[in-house]
Amino acid sequence: MTTDSKNAAEPILLDQKGEYIILGILLGQTDICSSERRIMADLLNPVHFEVNLVSEDCDVGNRGYEANIYLKDPSTVVFLAK
């Protein structure tokens, strides 16, 4: 098992398939108020896509977008928005 230490808000790279254990502790305290999370990671092939603007409200500033995933079956793709 490989271990790595990160500071709060530092990104964690999940680049291998398998289980990851994330252990959060306060500095100087190893047994008090620790928090553990287990994450199962699977690697997927990236989906090539293009983002298209489909609507825009110039008065309010709202915009609507659509992802063109070309010939990929939409039922095999997970869509996430940030």
The pLDDT value given to residue 33: 76
**Which parts of the chain have pLDDT scores under 70?**
30-31, 82
Domain of residue 22: give its range. 1-43
Q: How far is CA 18 from CA 5, 24, 37, 45, 82, in A?
A: 19, 20, 14, 16, 25
Same domain flag for 31 and 50: no
Same domain flag for 36 and 59: no
Domain contains 82: no
Q: What is the pTM of this model?
A: 0.50
The pLDDT value given to residue 68: 94
Q: How many domains does the chain have?
A: 2
Which tokens is 23 given?
A: 């252990």
Same domain flag for 19 and 50: no
The pLDDT value given to residue 30: 66
